[in-house]
């Protein structure tokens, strides 16, 4: 009896294994990330999650799927709209399920492969983990990961998409998160007028105002909005008055608990900033003019303002004339990457 059951067991294992190998027939097609010449090396470890055509296609399908939320209608793309560099157009702070409000402005999604940390306060240290926050946040998608996985398993499409991307149709949270990362990682924005000008491409030149703006920017802004990503990826307090609408907001201190991090925020990249309004972590400024007026006249000393913003007369702020503000804005508009904003690879339809 015992031997029979052993034999039966062995047969079962052999069968199960051969079925498993048979399942591994789908071989995804590798995709190389296109990195612009003027960019730094990516920080994402692609060896743990190589980009493939099928992985990206699955990620795209998930990104635009309302099933990731409890109400079935809030997808990632709801708060991250391509035309506005994947921000939530028209919203100071994001709106999720049942119109509930969060307390932060939706961040643009681009060049995530080069980012060290994520969110306004750096709460997420790995891109693969980021989607867990919106999926489970009550004011965003208000869903659970096991529920999402059951919905995907029950769908007629997803088992096939998972098989194409990862070889078998097993649907796990790790695979779901990796596919979402793959889709977002390919969102490289590096073809703005300014990029083409910096790389000396197609005879692109800047106007006199744009060139003047570039110079001003280099001396007054680029110590924080640094390098080709337009952020030094640090957390800084740029002197914004406290927003009493959101008393829970403490900036980076929410993550570290240190008083010295109070109201510090991750320096945002200014790429595509022309279309990613409204601005700042709470979307308080609707226009770039308002942002520059803040830098010259609106800063408050909340005890923790970055010292690079201290002027010679002991006042916080950046000295700029109206013409200089205009020129800086003209320069910022050269950072708009129209090809990225219209790239069909990232489009919902």
Distance between CA atoms of residues 296 and 298, nearest Å = 6
Task: Identify which of residues 171 and 288 has a Cβ nearer to ligand HEC in the complex.
Answer: 288
Q: Which of 179, 210, 146, 140 is nearest to 31 (CA)?
A: 179
Position among 70, 82, 107, 198 found at the interface with ligand HEC (CB under 6 A): 107
Tell whether residue 220 is a contact of ligand HEC (CB under 6 A): yes
Position among 49, 82, 106, 186 found at the interface with ligand HEC (CB under 6 A): 106
In angstroms, give the least distance from the CB of 9 to ligand HEC: 42
Q: Which of 231, 203, 225, 229 is nearest to 213 (CA)?
A: 225
Tell whether residue 346 is a contact of ligand HEC (CB under 6 A): no
Three-state DSSP state, 87: strand
Q: Where are the alpha helices (DSSP H) in 49-202?
A: 53-63, 76-79, 132-136, 145-154, 158-166, 173-185, 193-198
Tell whether residue 114 is a contact of ligand HEC (CB under 6 A): no
Q: Which of 154, 146, 182 is nearest to 62 (CA)?
A: 182
In angstroms, give the least distance from the CB of 102 to ligand HEC: 5
Task: Identify which of residues 28 and 131 has a Cβ nearer to ligand HEC in the complex.
Answer: 131
Distance between CA atoms of residues 115 and 44, nearest Å = 8
Three-state DSSP state, 101: strand
Q: Which of 110, 111, 133 is nearest to 43 (CA)?
A: 111
Q: Would you say 67 and 156 are in contact if contact means Cβ atoms under 8 Å apart?
A: no
Residue with tokens 């904003």: 341
Our CA angle for 110, 200, 85, nearest 5°, is 15
Binding to ligand HEC (CB under 6 A) within 16-75 occurs at 63, 68, 74
Question: To which H or E segment does residue 292 belong?
Answer: helix 288-293
Q: Which residues contact 241 (CB under 8 A, 6 or more apart)?
A: 298, 300, 302
Tell whether residue 271 is a contact of ligand HEC (CB under 6 A): no
Tell whether residue 334 is a contact of ligand HEC (CB under 6 A): no
Position among 135, 152, 255, 299 found at the interface with ligand HEC (CB under 6 A): 135
Distance between CA atoms of residues 293 and 349, nearest Å = 38
In angstroms, give the least distance from the CB of 78 to ligand HEC: 5
Interface region with ligand HEC, contact rule CB under 6 A, candidates 31-39, 47-55, 110-118, 336-344: 110-118
Position among 280, 299, 335, 341 found at the interface with ligand HEC (CB under 6 A): 280
Tell whether residue 76 is a contact of ligand HEC (CB under 6 A): yes
Q: Quick one: CA torsion of 137, 179, 108, 257, rounded to 10 degrees?
A: 50
Task: Identify which of residues 18 and 322 has a Cβ nearer to ligand HEC in the complex.
Answer: 322
Position among 44, 162, 265, 346 found at the interface with ligand HEC (CB under 6 A): 265
Query: x-or-dash pattern for ligand HEC, window 176-215, by CB under 6 A?
Result: ----x---x-------------------------------
Where do contacts with ligand HEC occur on this chain (CB under 6 A)?
A: 63, 68, 74, 76, 78-80, 94, 96, 102, 104, 106-107, 109, 112, 115, 118-120, 130-131, 134-135, 140-141, 180, 184, 220-221, 223-225, 236, 238, 240, 265, 267-268, 270, 273, 276, 279-281, 288, 291, 295, 306, 308-309, 318, 328
């Amino acid at each position: 009896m015992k031997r029979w059951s052993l034999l039966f067991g062995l047969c079962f294992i052999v069968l199960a294994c051969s079925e498993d190998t048979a399942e591994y027939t789908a071989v995804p097609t590798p995709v190389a990330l296109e990195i612009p010449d003027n960019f730094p090396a990516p920080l994402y470890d692609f060896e743990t999650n190589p980009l493939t055509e099928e992985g990206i296609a699955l990620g795209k399908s998930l990104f635009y799927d309302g099933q990731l939320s409890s109400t079935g209608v809030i997808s990632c793309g709801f708060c991250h709209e391509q035309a506005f560099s994947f921000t939530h157009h028209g919203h100071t702070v994001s709106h999720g399920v049942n119109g509930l409000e969060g307390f932060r402005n939706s961040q643009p999604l681009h060049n995530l492969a080069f980012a060290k940390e994520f969110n306004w306060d750096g709460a997420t240290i790995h891109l693969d983990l980021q989607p867990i926050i919106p999926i489970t946040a009550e004011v965003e998608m208000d869903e659970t990961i096991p529920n999402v996985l059951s919905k995907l398993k029950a769908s007629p499409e997803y088992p096939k998409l998972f098989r194409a991307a990862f070889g078998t149709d097993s649907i796990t949270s790790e695979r779901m998160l990796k596919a979402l990362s793959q889709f977002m990682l390919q969102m490289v924005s590096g073809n703005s007028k300014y990029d083409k000008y910096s790389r000396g491409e197609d005879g692109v030149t800047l106007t006199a105002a744009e060139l003047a703006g570039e110079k001003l920017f280099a001396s007054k802004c680029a110590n924080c909005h640094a390098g080709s990503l337009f952020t030094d990826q640090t957390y800084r307090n740029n002197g914004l008055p406290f927003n009493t609408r959101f008393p829970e907001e403490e900036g980076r201190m929410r993550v570290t608990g240190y008083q010295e991090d109070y109201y510090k925020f991750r320096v945002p990249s200014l790429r595509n900033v022309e279309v990613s309004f409204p601005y700042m972590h709470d979307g308080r400024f609707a226009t770039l003019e308002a942002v520059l007026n803040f830098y010259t006249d609106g800063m408050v000393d909340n005890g923790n303002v970055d010292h690079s913003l201290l002027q010679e007369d002991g006042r916080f702020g950046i000295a700029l004339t109206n013409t200089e503000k205009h020129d800086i804005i003209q320069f910022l508009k050269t950072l708009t990457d129209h090809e990225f904003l219209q790239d069909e690879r990232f489009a919902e339809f």
